[in-house]
A and B are shown apart, each in its own frame.
Chain A
C-alpha cells in the first residue's frame, strides 16, 4: 500500500473518531428517525386499508411498503440532505486554500472525508433505528428480507449505493466551491436527489408510466434499488441491472465532479483573510 492511500485512510479514521463523540446527538437523531418512520407507516396503512381504490392500486403491497420505509431509514445516511459541513466551512472561509497545499489529490481527500461522515451516521443512527424498528409490534415494524438471496444481493447493492452517494456528494461539493453562486444550486441538486431517490415515496408507487425512467435515473440507486431487492419487488435475476445502473452513475458523477473541481481550482478565489 502506498503512502497516499494510507493518508486517505487515516483522514477517514480521524473523521470517524471525531464524529463518534456526540452520543446525545445520535440519540436525538434516532428518535427523529423513529417518529418520521412511524408517521409514514401510519399514513400509508390508512391508504392501503381504507383507500377507495386500494384493491386495484397495484405497485407494492402494504407489507412491502412498510419494509421500504424502514429500509429507507436504514439507508438514510445515503440521502443527499447536505454536504460535509466542515468542507462547506472551508469553502466559505477560505481554508480551501490551505487544503490545496497538502500533497494529496483534493478530490479524493475530500471524498474520503465526506464518506467518513456518512459511516458514522450509519452506525450511530440508522442501524440503531432499524434495530428498534424490528421490535415494533402490530405490523408497523421492520421485517427481515424476503429471502436469504435477497439479503445477499441487498448488501452489495447498498455498498454500491454508498459509493454513488459519496460520488454525488462530491459533485455537489465541487459545484458549491463556486462561492459567488451561494447556496442555491447546491440545495437544488440535493433536493432533486432526495425526491428521486424514493425517500418521499417508494418509486414503485409513483405513476406507472414513469416506471422505466424512475428505475434508470441516477438517484434510484441511493435508496430504491437496494430497497427493491430487500422487499422483493425486484426479481433477483434483475439485480445485475440495478447494480449496473448504480455503478454507471457513480462513475459518471466521479468524472464530472473531478472535472468541475479542477476547472474551479484553476481560477480559485480564496474568501476571507
Chain B
C-alpha cells in the first residue's frame, strides 16, 4: 500500500515538472501523430490491394491495436524501466535508489513518467473500439471482460520486456538495441495474417514473448474467427508468467550490480 502511494507521488511529481516546458502539448501531439501514422503503411496497402481473403483491414488493425495498446500502457507506467539502462545504470544513479529504504522495483518503475506516452494507449484503445464497431461486434460484458484481461496480460508482457531489458542492462548497456525486436518491432508482426506468418515469427511471439497470446487470440475469441476460446483466456496467465520471469532476471541483475558512476 505504501509502495503504491509512493509510486503515484513520484508520477505526480514527474507530471508537474514535465508541464513546466512550454512545448509539452506538442509532445502529446507528436506521439499521437506517431501512433496514428504508424499503421499508415498498412492502411494504404489495404487501400491499394484490398483484403487478404477473410483478413480485412478491420481485423488486422484490431490485432495490431491490441498489441499497441498493451505496449503503450507498459511504456507509460513503467517508463522508468524503459530509461533504466541509459539513465540509471550508465550514469550510476542507481546507487541513490539503493540508499533509500523503499522497494527498488517501485522506485525504478516510477523514476520517469511522461504524460505524452499516454497518447499511445489512448490512440490504441480508440482504434480497438473503431475496429469492433466496423465489424458490427457489440460490446457485451463478456467481450469487455476479455478486452480488459487481454490488455492486462499485454501490459504484463511488455512491462516484462522492459524489466528484463533493465535486468540485462546490469551486465551490458551498449548492446541493447535488439530489444526493439520485442517492443516496437513486435507489434509490426501482427500485420501479417496468421496463415502466412513464418513458423519462426509465430513461435517466437507465441512461446518466447507471448505477444500473440495477448493480441491475436483474445481478438479471435471476441470476433469468433474459429480458434478455441480457452486460448483467449490464456492472455492473463501468459502475461503474468512472462512478467514473473522478467522480475527474476531483474533480481539477478540487481545482485550483480557494481556501481558505474563517478
User: What residues of A have a CB within 8 angstroms of the CB of B98 in the complex?
Assistant: none
Q: In chain B, what residue has the closest Cβ to A50?
A: B52
Contact A184 B51, beta carbon cutoff 8 Å? no
Q: How far is the CB of A145 from chain B (nearest CB, A)?
A: 24
Contact A187 B27, beta carbon cutoff 8 Å? yes
Contact B40 A181, beta carbon cutoff 8 Å? no
Q: A58 to B22: give the CA distance in the assembly, Å.
A: 46
The SS class assigned to the A binding surface is helix
Residues of B177-229 at the interface with A, using a CB-CB cut-off of 8 Å, are 177-178, 180-181, 185, 188-189, 191-193, 196-198, 201
A-B contact pairs, 18 of them (CB 8 A): A25-B174, A28-B178, A35-B185, A38-B201, A39-B185, A40-B188, A44-B45, A47-B49, A51-B45, A52-B50, A53-B50, A181-B21, A182-B24, A184-B25, A185-B26, A187-B27, A201-B41, A207-B47
Q: In chain B, what residue has the closest Cβ to A24?
A: B175
Given contacts A180-B22, A201-B44, contact A50 B196 (CB under 8 A): yes
Q: Contacts A43-B45, A46-B193, A54-B49 given; 5 further ones with Cβ under 8 A?
A: A42-B201, A43-B192, A48-B49, A191-B33, A200-B38
User: What residues of A have a CB within 8 angstroms of the CB of B41 in the complex?
Assistant: 200-201
Contact A59 B51, beta carbon cutoff 8 Å? no
Contact B193 A27, beta carbon cutoff 8 Å? no
Contact A51 B44, beta carbon cutoff 8 Å? no
How many inter-chain residue pairs (CB < 8 Å) link A and B? Answer: 132
Task: Tell which of A24, A29, A46 touches B172, judged by Cβ atoms closer than 8 Å.
Answer: A24
Q: A191 to B30: give the CA distance in the assembly, Å.
A: 8
Q: A206 to B41: give the CA distance in the assembly, Å.
A: 8
Given contacts A39-B185, A184-B24, contact A25 B177 (CB under 8 A): yes
Q: How far is the CB of A22 from chain B (nearest CB, A)?
A: 5
User: What residues of B have a CB within 8 angstroms of the CB of A25 in the complex?
Assistant: 174-175, 177
Contact A183 B23, beta carbon cutoff 8 Å? yes
A108: Cβ under 8 A from any B Cβ: no
Contact A57 B188, beta carbon cutoff 8 Å? no
A87: Cβ under 8 A from any B Cβ: no
Q: A53 to B53: give the CA distance in the assembly, Å.
A: 10
Q: How far is the CB of A189 from chain B (nearest CB, A)?
A: 9
User: What residues of B have a CB within 8 angstroms of the CB of A50 in the complex?
Assistant: 52-53, 193, 196
Q: In chain A, what residue has the closest Cβ to B18?
A: A182
Q: A188 to B34: give the CA distance in the assembly, Å.
A: 9
The SS class assigned to the B binding surface is helix
Q: A48 to B45: give the CA distance in the assembly, Å.
A: 9
Contact B47 A188, beta carbon cutoff 8 Å? no
User: What residues of B have a CB within 8 angstroms of the CB of A48 in the complex?
Assistant: 49
Contact B48 A205, beta carbon cutoff 8 Å? yes
Task: Tell which of B24, B176, B191, B192 touches A28, judged by Cβ atoms closer than 8 Å.
Answer: B176
Q: In chain A, what residue has the closest Cβ to B184?
A: A36
Please report A residues at the B interface, Cβ cutoff 8 Å.
Answer: 22, 24-25, 27-29, 31-32, 35-36, 38-40, 42-48, 50-54, 57-59, 180-185, 187-188, 191, 195, 200-201, 205-207
Q: A22 to B21: give the CA distance in the assembly, Å.
A: 34
Q: A48 to B37: give the CA distance in the assembly, Å.
A: 22
Q: How far is the CB of B238 from chain A (nearest CB, A)?
A: 21
B29: Cβ under 8 A from any A Cβ: yes
Q: A144 to B111: give the CA distance in the assembly, Å.
A: 48
User: What residues of B have a CB within 8 angstroms of the CB of A180 in the complex?
Assistant: 21-23
Q: A58 to B50: give the CA distance in the assembly, Å.
A: 13
Contact B40 A51, beta carbon cutoff 8 Å? no
User: What residues of B have a CB within 8 angstroms of the CB of A205 in the complex?
Assistant: 44-45, 48
Q: A25 to B197: give the CA distance in the assembly, Å.
A: 28
User: What residues of B have a CB within 8 angstroms of the CB of A53 in the complex?
Assistant: 48-50
Task: Tell which of A27, A52, A206 touches B49, judged by Cβ atoms closer than 8 Å.
Answer: A52
Q: How far is the CB of B185 from chain A (nearest CB, A)?
A: 5
Q: In chain A, what residue has the closest Cβ to B176?
A: A28
Contact A42 B49, beta carbon cutoff 8 Å? no
Q: How far is the CB of A152 from chain B (nearest CB, A)?
A: 30
Q: A39 to B202: give the CA distance in the assembly, Å.
A: 11
User: What residues of A have a CB within 8 angstroms of the CB of B192 in the complex?
Assistant: 39, 42-43, 46
Contact B48 A39, beta carbon cutoff 8 Å? no
Contact B196 A42, beta carbon cutoff 8 Å? yes
Q: A15 to B50: give the CA distance in the assembly, Å.
A: 48
Q: In chain B, what residue has the closest Cβ to A59?
A: B48
User: What residues of A have a CB within 8 angstroms of the CB of B27 in the complex?
Assistant: 182-184, 187
User: What residues of A have a CB within 8 angstroms of the CB of B47 in the complex?
Assistant: 207
Contact B197 A36, beta carbon cutoff 8 Å? no
Q: A187 to B116: give the CA distance in the assembly, Å.
A: 12
Q: In chain B, what residue has the closest Cβ to A206?
A: B44
Given contacts A185-B26, A188-B30, contact A32 B185 (CB under 8 A): yes
Q: A135 to B192: give the CA distance in the assembly, Å.
A: 23
Contact A28 B23, beta carbon cutoff 8 Å? no
Q: A120 to B181: give the CA distance in the assembly, Å.
A: 22
Q: A38 to B176: give the CA distance in the assembly, Å.
A: 20
Binary interface encoding of chain B residues 103-141 relative to chain A, with 1 for a CB under 8 A from any of its CBs, else 0? 000000000000000000000000000000000000000
